[in-house]
Amino acid sequence: MAVSVFRNIPYAAGPTGAARFAAPTPVSSVPGAPGAPDLHGAPGADGPGPTAPAPERRFPADLSPLMGPGWVRGEDYLTLNVWTPWTDGDAPVMVFVHGGAFLSGTGQAPVYDGTPFARDGVVLVTLNYRLGALGWLDLPDAPRNRGLLDVLAALRWVREHIADYGGDPDRVTVFGQSAGGMIVSALLVTPEAAGLFRGAISQSGGLHALTGAEAAETTRALADRLGVPATAEAFAGIPDERLVSALAEVPGMGPRLSPLGVVLDGLDDAPPPHPVDLLVGTNTQESLLYQRPEQSAAIDAVFRDARERLVSRYDKAFTYDFDWRGGPFGACHAVELPFVFDHTELPALRTANGLLGPDVPASLAAEMHGAWVRFATHGDPGWSGTHRFR
């Protein structure tokens, strides 16, 4: 099946100046759509476009296939990429929200290449959203959860334009991992997201959110470090580089591994989740990615508990455990992603400190990737209860 890819399509205007802390605003044109100028003729279209400001982060494992090239400077980074098999407009659509602890990452990372999904008849969309202080710092004079608002803007773009790329806007599944999985879970209880997707997959995310008090603690710590009032007006004068470096000096709180996150005060009083098909899962050894044995039980419990808060809100939900332990870091956080995207062949994943190591079962990638395709196509991954990938 022929596959086409369109990269760096803006779904919202680039956040600049004080607008870095405002809600996303629409763009007036949609480059890349059929009938519009060929996106591949634009400068830089074949390479990585700008990404959200982010620090360089180090892990025991080489996560470059999942994290991408790092911060690529440029203001117009609220963009998405589309891989399409060019059907008659009735193909299921999957929209991926990357992880990175709300601090880093990009939808342009090599593992997220959507060719295998398009090969199997799915239109695949990946996206960037605001990270760090710009996207998630809770401020009294700015909209809350600006990164979540970015994802909503991207989903509205998909609703309005994906038919031009062969996708069915009524058959959209949104999926994400880690911070992206938490964003997906938050979308389920966000009224503005109703009707934008019919299926949701949360990988190692679940319904885990910060309280307003917890978010305020990070805001105060960052403001003190920068020597400014804890307001968006004051932060607007701070360059991106300084915001990134100062936030990297603010410690995470307990096992959460990030000082930022979705803020959902009154979670117990949140509206009932949108009636969509739901697939939720975790890896059995999440904490091994971080190599923090003194907190391993607490870290693993965060992921398990977030999954059970989410699943309990649904009468029917498909669940999975990922338990393949053949790589150097076992069934750790993020190890399932190359299997989901059917990209276990990438050399950086198979080195001594790669996420997978040299011996990777091809059958597991076929099984897991196929389950995600079936879920997007039929609303059923192919099992009942909890399925164990191993």
Give ∠ CA 356-186-103 in degrees, rounded to 5: 55
Of 340, 353, 385, the residue nearest 180 (C-alpha): 340
Q: Which of 98, 161, 333, 369 is catalytic?
A: 333
Distance CA 116, CA 342 (A): 6
| Residue 36 DSSP SS3 | coil
CA distance 72 to 50: 5
CA–CA distance, 194 with 208 (Å, rounded to integer): 20
234: how many CB neighbours lie within 10 A of its CB?
15
Contact 18, 78 (CB under 8 A): no
Within 10 angstroms of residue 7's Cβ, the number of other Cβ atoms is 22
Q: What are the φ and ψ backbone dihedral angles of 88, each rounded to 5 degrees?
A: -85, 15
CA angle 119, 381, 100 (to 5 degrees): 75
Among 180, 230, 222, which Cα is nearest to 201's? 180
DSSP annotation of 131: -
Q: How far apart are CA 197 and CA 195, in angstroms?
A: 6
Query: Where do the H-state alpha helices sit in the chain?
Result: 64-67, 115-119, 132-136, 146-161, 179-187, 212-226, 232-235, 240-248, 296-311, 337-340, 362-378
The active-site residue, picked from 64, 98, 161, 178, is: 178
104, 208, 274, 286: the active-site residue? 286
User: 120 pairs with which residues across the strands?
Assistant: none
How many residues does the structure list for the chain? 390
The DSSP H or E segment spanning 319 is strand 318-322
Residues in a beta bridge with 176: 97, 202
Instruction: Identify whether 178 is a catalytic site residue.
Output: yes
Token match 């004051």: residue? 234
Q: Do 5 and 32 touch, CB atoms closer than 8 A?
A: no
Positions marked active-site: 178, 286, 333
